[in-house]
Structure 1
Amino acid sequence: MYDIALAFLIVVSVLLIIVVAAQPSKTNAASSLSGGAEQLFGKQKARGFEAFLIRLTIILGTVFVVLTIVLEYLINH
């Protein structure tokens, strides 16, 4: 059981790294001069592929945490 959970954790970790790296950057040169006020007050909802990547990141992060807790339980028992 431990080996299966560890294998899933490794797969989820690699997928999480790929998904986070694939997300587009939201910074631009003007935000460093204005302190990012445009991004704070002009926030727009992500759409399409960007929204999918955000949801996938949340799901993979949750699975990562759950698998880590399961592995910790398996190690201690």
Structure 2
Amino acid sequence: MDILRIILTVVFILVCIALTVIVLMQEGKSAGLGAISGAAESYWGKNKGRSMEGALAKSTKFLAIAFIVLAAILNINF
């Protein structure tokens, strides 16, 4: 069981580092102020899910879920 705990701890540390990097790579919400003037109807506004920002948002959600699950598993005293 100690080997499993060490492996999960290493994976948890890697998820923490990846989550931090991906959150820092995202643009701030103030960068989207062009939506007031109608710039949200551009190509990037319509296809946000396929852009780099969309990929970063999806990976942030995935890593956040992995972070919570791993934290809960590592908190169990077995």
Q: Fold-level match, TM-score > 0.5? A: yes
Q: Say yes or no: does 1:59 pair with 2:56.
A: no
Aligned residues: 66
Identical columns (%): 27
Query: What is the CA–CA distance in structure 2 between the aligned matches of 1:72 and 1:24, rounded to whole Å?
Result: 33
Give the aligned partner of residue 23 of structure 1: 26
Give the aligned partner of residue 4 of structure 1: 7
TM-score by length of 1: 0.72
CA RMSD of aligned residues (A): 2.5
Runs of 4+ in 1 over 4 A off after TM superposition: none
Q: Following TM superposition, by how much is the alpha carbon of 1:56 offset from its aligned partner in structure 2, in angstroms?
A: 0.2
For structure 2, the residue ranges without an aligned partner over 5 or more in a row are: none
Q: Say yes or no: does 1:69 pair with 2:62.
A: no
TM-score by length of 2: 0.71
